[in-house]
Structure 1
Amino acid sequence: MTAEHHPTRSRLVVLAGPTAVGKGTVAACIREQHPDIWISVSATTRAPRPGEIDGVHYHFVSHEEFDHLVATDGLLEWAVVHGRNRYGTPRAAVEEQLEAGRPALLEIDLQGARQVRERMPDALMCFLAPPSFEELERRLVGRGTEDAEERERRLRTAREELAAESEFDVTIVNTDVPTACRELVDLFSSRTSS
């Protein structure tokens, strides 16, 4: 599908990758340096981490509220992540931004990215990869937000997620955040000008 089918509609870029690869950090860099790019705020049933603000980092919702969003088709995608909490992308906000012609970024997990691929096949799928698995493990341990059991669960998930890289249109290696941010922003200009 080409841009001509929706002359005013912007393209959607989906950023996914393994846990602790730095998706949130790269998205925060884009939010700060490129306010013209709209970044979706996911809904989640997990509790806020220190410093996270409801409506800014996530929409923190109860299990009942999440059930209602699922039942009313209010989510573009959703998934159970790490076998525990649910995350999802509110559909209406994404549609509004795309219809308004604004560049839109979804920073989501692999399961969610697969659902978006099915529902919006013209989205550009970008995989954020670590320089190595050892570096990914170092980042996860260094974050200090999970206990040992949770770290092990996330590392198992990360190994599976890394194996999905070939499903994506583009891979960006997150060696350093400013470079990854710049490469991701460049994808918007390459897609919107085509």
Structure 2
Amino acid sequence: MTTAQPTIAVPDSDALHRRGLMFILSSPSGAGKTTVSRMLLERDARLRMSVSVTTRPPRPGEIDGRDYIFTSQPGFDHMVEEGEFLEWAQVFDNSYGTPKAEVKAGLKDGKDYLFDIDWQGTQQLYQKMQADVVRVFLLPPSIDELRRRLTSRGTDSAEVIAARMERAKAEISHWDGYDYVIVNDDIDVCFAKVTQILAAERMRRARQTGLIPFVRELTAPDA
């Protein structure tokens, strides 16, 4: 059973200006990506979910502009032609894409974005935004445990579960395309490791754009 976790204490703003980052969480279905993503968003006020554009119909309770930006396939295709996506892909007959303008502006302002995408989307983002991207992959403790998690949901047929298991093995084969790989055998431990990675990546010297003027002031000759 998941124990209660405290909200991550973060300041409203950084003492020194910092460029934001693109924090990617990937995993096969059932390995904990959605749970860890939800925990991060609930407990870290500086992290926001990247809102994707999609051609699939809204599900009950979903709000346009908050959960997804819903559009038609012709509208999506036009955005692709105009180069408006950082990455895009077709998944189960629907198209999904990450809008470029909002993310680039947010990174410059020090905003951090969480991405719940697969390895193909991760590759596209990394090719375009290498220094801004942090890639984390979650692995299940075993294939048997992954199958048990998928089966315990009680929502899919045996055929669907078999297809998901094959897809999971294909996704796992791309584990070496990530900066960090975590075996999720305990959700609380996994979450703690993910937050440690996020904290360390925020402190990378290359992202501390306010350091240069700050150090210059420290080392300036006495007036």
Given the two structures, how large is their TM-score scaled by the length of structure 2? Answer: 0.73
Cα deviation for residue 118 of structure 1 reads 0.8
Q: Relative to structure 1, is the Cα distance of residues 191 and 102 closer, same or farther in structure 2, using a 3 angstrom cutoff?
A: same
Q: Does 1:93 align with 2:102?
A: yes
Cα deviation for residue 105 of structure 1 reads 1.9
Give, in whole Å, the separation in 1 of the partners of 2:183 and 2:159: 27
Gap runs ≥5 in structure 1 = 1-6
Q: Does 1:31 align with 2:45?
A: no
Cα deviation for residue 164 of structure 1 reads 0.7
Given the alignment, which residue of 75, 93, 118 partners 1:109? 118
Q: Relative to structure 1, is the Cα distance of residues 70 and 171 closer, same or farther in structure 2, using a 3 angstrom cutoff?
A: same
**Post-superposition CA distance 1:128-185 (Å, at most 9, x none):** 1112222222222333454444433322211110011111110122233333233222
Q: Relative to structure 1, is the Cα distance of residues 79 and 132 closer, same or farther in structure 2, using a 3 angstrom cutoff?
A: same
Give the AA of the match of 1:86: S
Could you say which residue in structure 1 is the equivalent of 2:8? Answer: none
**Post-superposition CA distance 1:80-104 (Å, at most 9, x none):** 22x5322221222221221111222
Q: Percent identity?
A: 39
Give, in whole Å, the separation in 1 of the partners of 2:163 and 2:94: 13
Q: Does 1:177 align with 2:178?
A: no
Could you say which residue in structure 2 is the equivalent of 1:3? Answer: none
Equivalent residues in 2 for 1:76-155 (5 A)?
76-81=86-91, 83-122=92-131, 123-155=133-165
Give, in whole Å, the separation in 2 of the partners of 1:146 and 1:87: 23
Cα deviation for residue 190 of structure 1 reads 0.7
Give, in whole Å, the separation in 1 of the partners of 2:158 and 2:96: 22
Given the alignment, which residue of 65, 68, 75 partners 2:85? 75
Cα deviation for residue 52 of structure 1 reads 4.4
Gap runs ≥5 in structure 2 = 1-16, 205-223
Q: Relative to structure 1, is the Cα distance of residues 183 and 60 closer, same or farther in structure 2, using a 3 angstrom cutoff?
A: farther
- Secondary structure of the residue aligned to 1:120 is helix
Give, in whole Å, the separation in 2 of the partners of 1:138 and 1:48: 29
- Decide whether the 8 Å contact of 1:103 with 1:188 is kept in 2: no
Give, in whole Å, the separation in 2 of the partners of 1:147 and 1:44: 26
Question: RMSD over aligned Cα, in angstroms?
Answer: 2.3
Give the AA of the match of 2:43: Q
- Secondary structure of the residue aligned to 2:130 is coil
Q: Relative to structure 1, is the Cα distance of residues 20 and 68 closer, same or farther in structure 2, using a 3 angstrom cutoff?
A: farther
Q: Relative to structure 1, is the Cα distance of residues 190 and 146 closer, same or farther in structure 2, using a 3 angstrom cutoff?
A: same
